[in-house]
Amino acid sequence: MLQRHRVGSVVAEFLGTATLALVAIGATKYFNFTAPWYVGLAVGVTLAALVGIIGKASGAHVNPAITVGLLTLRKISPIKSVVYITAQLLGGLTAFMLVEYITNSDIVSAGSSTFDTRIFVAEVMGSAVFAFGVASVVMQKIEGMQAAFTIGTSLFMGVLIASLVAPGFINPAVALANNAWGITTVLAPLMGSVIGMNVYSFFLAPEKSLIISKPKKNKK
């Protein structure tokens, strides 16, 4: 049963990320980045649904940046984080391949070919806001519909902020699915997530959530 749960959590991250990426591709393809609020709403609602569907199985990270952020808070082990990130990137790659197959066309890269500091900062800001919301759910141990609403809304806000000057992926796996893999779309979300989560943890998290329980010693 334990082994089934471990495999299930990896499958959940793979399928969840692929689903989120497919919705992101569909939304951006239809609106061609002319309505960031719609794209943000689409992925926000999708993530909220995923929290309810696979949250119990894996935590519904579906984003390498979120996994890295939780790793810095010691809410996930290094080995598990590597497995999760691998599953998430494979989910994004699968979404990319599926869309190109079913549409019989190439996905045009939405990323910038040159590094732009303003775009990088926007992605960091959007990711930080999103991660801030995720950290609040994790540190306060919020569950159910409230957790789904908080996380989904946080993603919506993060995408809108990042979309001021950037594509607003704030998820390396979704960027990979959109053929926009690069320094900005990978490093900026990672930095933003670490900043957002640790700012929340340091200033706002309940004190009891900061205590890391020690394993109990077996009595002889």
Judge if pTM exceeds 0.75.
yes
Please state, in angstroms and rounded to a whole number, the distance separating the CA atoms of residues 217 and 112. 54
Express each pLDDT in 20-70 by its tens digit.
999 999 888 776 556 778 889 999 999 999 999 999 999 999 999 999 999
**Minimal CA–CA distance to 24: which of 196, 178, 208, 204?**
178
